[in-house]
Amino acid sequence: MSTPATPTYFQTMSPAPASTSTSAAPQPSTLPPSSNPPTSNSLSMAQTSSSKSLSPKPLRKPLLRLELRDVSSSGTRAFLRLLHASTTLEDAVDSVLSLLYSGLDPNCIPPTRSITLVLRAMGGVAYTKGLDIDSDHKEIHICTNYISQVPETRMKEEIQGVIIHEMVHCWQHNALGSAPGGLIEGIADWVRLKAGFAAPHWRRRADSDWDVGYERTAYFLEWLETEHGEDIVRKINEALRGCIYESDGIWEKCCGTSIEKLWKAYQSSLADEEAAEKAEKAEKGEEKEEKTRKRKLGVRGGRTSTSTTNTPNPTSGSGEDPRSACVKARRGGRMHVPIRGGPGS
């Protein structure tokens, strides 16, 4: 039986807004200062690094390589300035193996022998492929043009997220190349999501088929975790090992029902969440309007009270004219004016 050709997985994304900042000159990679407060993503990677001893280990540790086609490009400069290639690749491997193979026998892990990260100018965002001569040797190609277009404020996290997504393709099972591409890409973005590198534009949506791929399928898989257990994606990945994809068999085995019913249930859950959010917003809007109305009434009441208190009443029972002496003098009011005597008085 001939070995099926290794599929090539391309990662496509919405174009990132162009960065207005000028890329800094290339500098030697240095560890970030310990005094800087860690971000949520750096904490995620730190937790991954600290749990390396607990991560599943492949039967053979892969060789990790870096290939730079143009060290003078702004995208390559940004990569070298922001990241350590060795630790970034090692952490990505650990994240993937931990999320897809925890609790499983090491024999379940594909025998990937080497992974080469290639930074170069090209179209698209990134893709992963196995070498024709030996598919156990993988190459991850990332577009330096894309890197340079990402805003500086999230450039590091975006590079890490893309690398983790592509790293999944180096280790996941694909039913001998017969699994739906959307499922393969969805699992890759699910790992990226769970590793803490979801892109800011990602949203939970179900206005498509379940296997449209990427973040839509990733959030569907995340929902499956709540419905069918935290290990459901590991079960799905394992079900794709060494066999031809059969929709009914795989989903019935892993979830006990068809993928069509699962997708409809997910769509209903999103619709319920959306309705609940709208109701909550409407309730908050009514509360805000009520507070505004009461505040306006309070201001009006305060003004009326002040006017009543401060306005003098000329006809009050005291019989005294409340006007000042100066006003009474101008208007002919009764006022005693002393008369000074002459020089001799």
Same domain, 115 and 165: yes
Sign (positive/negative) of CA torsion 274, 158, 120, 176? negative
CA 307 to mean position of chain CA atoms: 56
- The H-assigned helical ranges of the chain are 40-50, 74-82, 85-101, 144-149, 155-169, 181-194, 214-228, 232-239, 247-255, 259-310, 325-330
Same domain, 6 and 137: yes
Residue 286's Cβ-count burial label (10 Å; 0-12, 13-18, 19+) is: exposed
pLDDT tens for 24-74 read 433 333 333 433 444 445 445 445 444 555 779 999 999 999 999 999 999
CA 69 to mean position of chain CA atoms: 30
Contact in structure between 197 and 173 (CB atoms under 8 Å): no
315 occurs within a structural domain: no
pLDDT of residue 290: 81
76 occurs within a structural domain: yes
Q: What is the mean pLDDT of the chain?
A: 82
User: Which of 279, 310, 339 is the endpoint of a domain?
Assistant: 279
Which residues fall within 8 angstroms of residue 226, CB to CB, at 6 or more apart? none
User: Which of 263, 279, 295 is the endpoint of a domain?
Assistant: 279
pLDDT of residue 38: 43
pLDDT of residue 277: 86
User: How far apart (Å, rounded) are the C-alpha atoms in residues 102 and 308?
Assistant: 77
Same domain, 127 and 269: no
**Does residue 4 surpass a pLDDT of 60?**
no
pLDDT tens for 127-171 read 999 999 999 999 999 999 999 999 999 999 999 999 999 999 999
pLDDT of residue 142: 98
32 occurs within a structural domain: no
pTM for the full predicted model: 0.71
**Does residue 327 surpass a pLDDT of 80?**
no
334 occurs within a structural domain: no
pLDDT tens for 141-150 read 999 999 999 9
pLDDT of residue 22: 40
Q: Give the C-alpha distances (Å, rounded to integers) separating 312 from 174, 250, 324, 331.
A: 90, 89, 12, 17
319 occurs within a structural domain: no
pLDDT tier, 292 (very low <50, low <70, confident <90, very high otherwise): confident
Same domain, 14 and 98: yes
Same domain, 202 and 220: yes
Q: How would you classify residue 96: left for phi > 0, otherwise alpha for psi between -120 and 50, otherwise beta?
A: alpha
- Axis crossing angle, helix 214-228 with helix 181-194, rounded to the nearest 10: 70
pLDDT tier, 240 (very low <50, low <70, confident <90, very high otherwise): very high
Domain assignment of residue 190, given as a range: 175-279
User: Which of 155, 171, 187 is the endpoint of a domain?
Assistant: 171
71 occurs within a structural domain: yes
pLDDT tens for 243-285 read 999 998 999 999 999 999 999 999 999 999 989 988 888 888 8
Same domain, 116 and 1: yes
User: How far apart (Å, rounded) are the C-alpha atoms in residues 165 and 189?
Assistant: 6
306 occurs within a structural domain: no
Task: Tell me how long the chain is.
Answer: 345
264 occurs within a structural domain: yes
Same domain, 201 and 167: no
Same domain, 8 and 129: yes
Same domain, 149 and 198: no
Same domain, 224 and 107: no
pLDDT tier, 336 (very low <50, low <70, confident <90, very high otherwise): low
Contact in structure between 36 and 89 (CB atoms under 8 Å): no
Contact in structure between 165 and 189 (CB atoms under 8 Å): yes
Share of the chain above pLDDT 70, in %: 71
Q: Give the C-alpha distances (Å, rounded to integers) separating 135 from 159, 171, 184, 241, 335.
A: 25, 11, 17, 15, 113
User: How many separate domains does the chain show?
Assistant: 2
Same domain, 268 and 229: yes
Tokens 């059969």 sit at which residue?
246
pLDDT of residue 340: 59
Amino acid identity of 239? A
Same domain, 216 and 166: no
Share of the chain above pLDDT 90, in %: 63
